[in-house]
Amino acid sequence: MKIVNWLLLISFGALLIYASLGLPNRGDGDAVMHREKSPAGSWGASSYYIRNAYRDAETLNMVTVILADYRGYDTLGEETVILTAGLICYLVLRKRRTNRDDKKPLKAGADAQT
Amino acid sequence: MRKHKYNPIILMVSRVVSPFIMIFGLYVIFHGHYSPGGGFQGGTLLAAALLLIRLAAGFDIAQIQFKRILGTPLGSIGVLIYFGTGFLAMISGGEFLNYGFLPFAGFTEAGLRALGILMVEIGVGLAVMAILVAIYDDLLEGYPHD
């Protein structure tokens, strides 16, 4: 069984390395994802951001403009996720305050009453 | 659990280093318009400065700096700052989160957008800082800390 695990691991790693050989070079201008127009011939959203980010928001950092202005809903959702994680940690990990005496045997359904 | 005794050397170094981390976190938040950074990264640095004092001095002494009860309310206030910025733009005529409609006089529309981005980043930084400290405090709950 261990041999099967190792064989699966090695073959999957080899598959990933083989797939990574087909990636375009970093900063290659002719790669499809770096072109200004999509293969269908339309202007992508990224070229709009690069052209108009400073004109729209007077902010030099293009990433900040995209994160907080063009994609504001997304960042609002991310922040809500963080708040939800904190609230759930508070609910799960806090010390439970009960006035119940611990020496009494627990009845079934005693939690439903408190 | 072993009783925790704080080390004076570690406490001294933490007391010196922590304000600089805090200043750098504020710099990362407020300089996010011009350099890499923003609310999430700056909030994490602020939380690191607070958690360093919590680790070095112990939970009870660190309550002087940042009370345990403050964590969740400050996180909620951060989210409310973000939401309120978008809502302020909405009730003054624009769409939700369209900062060009914020009701502040003396700005061009692009300047209003820069101001809105700054307000949003402050909200994000506050929420991230408070929630990270609150998660640490919740994990410590129930253990006998010095």
Q: What are the sequence ranges of the domains in chain B?
A: 8-140
Checking if the pLDDT of B63 tops 80, the result is yes
pLDDT digits (tens, 9 = 90+) for B12-59: 999 999 999 999 999 999 999 999 988 899 999 999 999 999 989 888
In a domain, A106, yes or no: no
Question: Is A59 within the bounds of a domain?
Answer: yes
**Which residue in chain B has the smallest CA separation from A66?**
B117
Q: Taking Cα atoms as reference points, which of B26, B123, B108, B45 lies closest to residue A72? A: B123
Interchain pair A93, B110: CB under 8 A: no
Which residue of A89, A91, A94 is the best one to mutate when testing the B interface, meaning the one whose CB has the most B CBs within 10 A? A89
Question: Which of B34, B112, B113 is the best mutation test for A, with the most CBs of A within 10 A?
Answer: B113
Contact A72 B138 (CB under 8 A): no
* Residue A56 domain-assigned (yes or no): yes
> Is position A65 within any domain?
yes
HSE of B95, CA atoms in CB hemisphere, 13 A: 5
Round to whole Å and give the CA distance between B69 and A5: 48
Taking the C-alpha atoms of residue B72 and residue A98, their distance in angstroms, rounded to an integer, is 22
Place of tokens 């293969």: A39
What is the residue range of A67's domain?
A: 30-94
Q: CA-CA distance, B38 to B29, in Å (whole number)? A: 5
Q: What pTM value is reported for the model?
A: 0.80
Domain count, chain A: 1
Of the candidates A57, A79, A92, the beta carbon closest to that of B113 is on A57
Percent of chain B whose predicted confidence (pLDDT) is above 70: 93
Is residue A15 domain-resident? no
Chain A contact for B33 (CB, 8 A cutoff): yes
> Terminus-to-terminus CA distance in chain A, angstroms?
50
Q: Residue A10 belongs to what H/E stretch? A: helix A2-20
On whether any CB of chain A is under 8 Å from the CB of B99, the answer is yes
Cβ A69–B124 below 8 Å, yes or no?
Answer: no
Tell me what the mean pLDDT of segment B62-75 comes to.
90
For residue B76, list chain A residues with Cβ-Cβ distance below 8 A: 83
ipTM for the predicted complex: 0.86
Nearest to A61 among B34, B97, B110 (CB): B34
Contact of B111 with chain A, judged by CB distance below 8 Å, is answered with: yes
Closest C-alpha to A83, from B82, B86, B118: B82
Residue in A56, A72, A89 closest to B97 by CB: A72
Instruction: Give the pLDDT confidence of A16-60 residue by residue, as tens digits.
Output: 999 999 888 887 878 877 788 888 888 878 888 888 999 988 889
* Tens digits of residue pLDDT in A8-19: 999 999 999 999
- What are the pLDDT digits (tens) for A67-103? 999 999 999 999 999 999 999 999 988 776 555 555 5
